[in-house]
Structure 1
Amino acid sequence: MSNKATGAQTIREALTRQNEEDEDEEGKEDEESRACGVCGDLAKGYHFNALTCEGCKGFFRRAIKRSTQLCCPFLNKCTITKNNRRSCQACRFRKCQAIGMRKEMVMSEKEVLERRIRIKKKKMLVAPIQLSSQQEETIQELLCVHRSTFDSAFYRFSGFRPMDRNILPASEYNHSENEPPYTCSLSSSLSSSSSSSLCGSFEKQDNQGGEQARESTAVFTALPHVADLTTYMIQDIISFSKGLQDFRSLSIGDQIALLKGATFEVMQIRFNMVFNTKRGTWECGHFTYCIDDALRAGFQPLLLEPLLKFHHTLRKLGLQEEEYVLMQAMSLFSPDRPGVQQHSVIDELHENLAMTLKTWIDCKRTGPEKHLLYPKVMACLTEMRTMTEEYSKQVLQIQDIQPDVISPLIVEMVRKNPCNDL
């Protein structure tokens, strides 16, 4: 019994040794098969049609691109090994050619660059789009400053002159032949955007102040209230701008230039956040305004028609708060404003904000509409730029007709000459 056990153990040991010997032989054969055909070093794969190491791969590429011919200082019979492969470049190159390395497989610098670009694009398509930490910090800063400077319920709007929605007859004031009377309503010309009952919701806002305003000789009865509302909005926009670190880092001259150019646009973006598309009204807490209020304040259809259309278009995009604040910042940091000196700095800030907005939309939005959202937002920003000049022009015309009603801050914002302080 013990002899049988001993025999079994001997067979087991013999089999084990044979398996180990076989594995060693396979390992040696594998190492030999993975040896570089040029120098014998460990090969990493096939390069230019031959099995070579990384060193000989790089050498062959460099040798192909050399403008001078390689020459052997001996008899063109040097033995190339891992240790001496750098001693004779000519024989090493000849060995590369002998094992089948092909020079036509070496890519040019242009081909290498194009290949890298293709790989990078492929990785970008595969990798999920994410906001960088800097982009997230930018959004958080904008949100924090916006929320502290925009009172969507208009609780802080106080001490204003009351709204009077009466329009005095044209016969009560003189106007030139080129100036149209401001007694018409936009309800007919904007029937697609405004409701026929726009002004029906304003009865609750009429008070004793309205009666007092009607007794005055003012031409634009709603102007005092609208001027106070505008001044209030401008002050908050200045606070918003000064709350941004990038804005504070600019020179005072550039701060003023950016504010003068962007205030109207930022104000409209903020008003859009409280715009009701169904009624065509701006619901500012316990205040509700319609486009006819701007008409009663002296503004003309040349501005009001595209302005109302703009609010409908932007509001229907269903923007999130983050997208609204990025729009405000992009409008503020526009490098092409008149009087701007630090163009390159502001242009970089604008580009970073635009990229942040696009990345945010790509990350946070779902559905096919997200692919068109970014260009639509950019189109809205462009549309506002076309209205800014007309707004400034009409404010100054109203100021000429009815002086001492519009605040100096509003006039300073729309005048082209530089102002001295914020």
Structure 2
Amino acid sequence: MTASVPYIPSYMDLSNGPEPCVVCGDAATGYHYRCMTCEGCKGFFRRTIQKNLQYHCKWSKGCVIDKTTRNQCQECRFIKCLNVGMATDLVLNEKQRTAKRKLIEENRERRKEEQVKTKPTESPPLNDTLSDQDRGMICEVVTAYEYTSGKVQNTKHKPEYEGAEIQTQDPESWQQLAEAMTPSIVKVVEFAKGVPGFTELNVDDQICLLKACCMEVMCLRAACRFDPEHETLFLHNGVNLNKSQIHEEGVAVLVEPIFDFAMGLSKLKLDKAEVALLAAILLIQSDRPGLKEPENVEKLQDAILGAFKRYVSENRPHQPVHWAKILMKVTDLRSISTRHAERVLCIRLDNSGEVPPLLLEIFNEGH
């Protein structure tokens, strides 16, 4: 992979220590408003948007912004925040912040109550009955999934690709695909943070799990926006993609399996909890290559799988094979992701330099 990788995948590799803040160069603490930044620049950007602050440079709007000068010129600092890609639309307003804080506090209180009720020696629930702990976990997973789902723009009447073929060797098509996936990658990362127990795993393992599941979760979300009657996928960026536009090569080869998967998934008629738990299972897989502490991942995986199975048993008592069909969808998605990785690698070898680094990263090249 080239050295000029966009900032989007930067959260995926922390093996050499903290990432530098893309605004001031100080040690970054995480992925904030679509960029890797420090707490200082994160807070500065958030306050600027929330309070609609206006700044004025005393010089010529060409100030150098680093960790020693970042407080000297607020206008140049804000301009640099925008130039590196920090997204104003991700800053929550007061109403959204209040709702989020309330949701977090309610989940925290619920978990405290469950810990008080649950004895350390409590045995697993019998007869496939959901425990209070199961219900709390499922609630948090569903909340995280729905909070990061986002709204798809409505372009039903005028699809961007209407009447057009997706070309095989066109670098612009690859770039469009990468740009369409960018916000979805951000949502996958945010969803993972909301899955109970994920942030308590080894940091390197968190990165490994995110890289491995990213394409699978995005395929699942795309499949959930599938219209089986018109064979149309509604992509996150508002593009409507009909199966009739799919041909045999290039980007099309990556998209076609998603149509087939989406058709099968639609027949299961999963509810919102089942979709969210399926996404959590895709995230927490203890057999991913490169895990440093797979036993901890497996423990969390077992907890989610157990709650998921008991949920299905309780809510679908007359559908005994429903659980097995859901597990088959995990296998299908992992197969699609593997085929995508192989295809992207082949295309890269045939057309050196045409596949954007972002796509090479999320298709797990090298795994």
- Give the TM interval when normalised to the shorter protein: 0.5 to 0.7
Alignment of 1:16-415 (within 5 A): 129-154=128-153, 204-205=159-160, 219=170, 222-284=173-235, 286-291=238-243, 295=247, 298-299=250-251, 301=253, 306-365=257-316, 368=318, 370-400=319-349, 406-415=355-364
Instruction: Give the Cα separation in 2 of the matches to 1:146 and 1:287.
Output: 22
Deviations 1:7-53 (A, max 9, x none): xxxxxxxxxxxxxxxxxxxxxxxxxxxxxxxxxxxxxxxxxxxxxxx
Deviations 1:137-157 (A, max 9, x none): 1111112211221114258x9
TM-score, normalised with respect to structure 2: 0.57
Instruction: Give the Cα separation in 2 of the matches to 1:204 and 1:257.
Output: 35
- CA displacement at 1:375 relative to structure 2: 0.3
Contact 2:178 2:358 in 1 (8 A): no
Distance 1:292 1:239, change over 3 A: farther
- CA displacement at 1:336 relative to structure 2: 0.6
Secondary structure of the structure 2 residue equivalent to 1:222:
helix
Counterpart amino acid of 1:205? E
Structure 1 residue runs of 5 or longer lacking an equivalent are: 1-119, 158-200
- CA displacement at 1:400 relative to structure 2: 4.8
Deviations 1:75-116 (A, max 9, x none): xxxxxxxxxxxxxxxxxxxxxxxxxxxxxxxxxxxxxxxxxx
Secondary structure of the structure 2 residue equivalent to 1:240:
helix
Indicate the structure whose relative CO is greater, using CA pairs within 8 Å and at least 6 residues apart: 2
- CA displacement at 1:403 relative to structure 2: 6.1
Distance 1:124 1:234, change over 3 A: closer
Instruction: Give the Cα separation in 2 of the matches to 1:287 and 1:273.
Output: 15
Instruction: Give the Cα separation in 1 of the matches to 2:262 and 2:246.
Output: 14
Q: Which residue of 1 aligns with 2:15?
A: none
Contact 1:143 1:322 in 2 (8 A): yes
Aligned-pair identity (%): 23
Counterpart amino acid of 2:323? Y
Instruction: Give the Cα separation in 2 of the matches to 1:313 and 1:304.
Output: 15
- CA displacement at 1:358 relative to structure 2: 1.2
Contact 1:335 1:343 in 2 (8 A): yes
Instruction: Give the Cα separation in 2 of the matches to 1:350 and 1:304.
Output: 29
- CA displacement at 1:415 relative to structure 2: 3.8
Counterpart amino acid of 2:320? H
Contact 1:220 1:297 in 2 (8 A): no
Instruction: Give the Cα separation in 2 of the matches to 1:375 and 1:293.
Output: 33
Q: Size of the alignment, in residue pairs?
A: 243
Structure 2 residue runs of 5 or longer lacking an equivalent are: 1-122
- CA displacement at 1:380 relative to structure 2: 1.1
Counterpart amino acid of 1:314? L
Distance 1:206 1:332, change over 3 A: closer
Distance 1:401 1:235, change over 3 A: farther
Task: Tell me which structure has the larger Cα radius of gyration.
Answer: 1
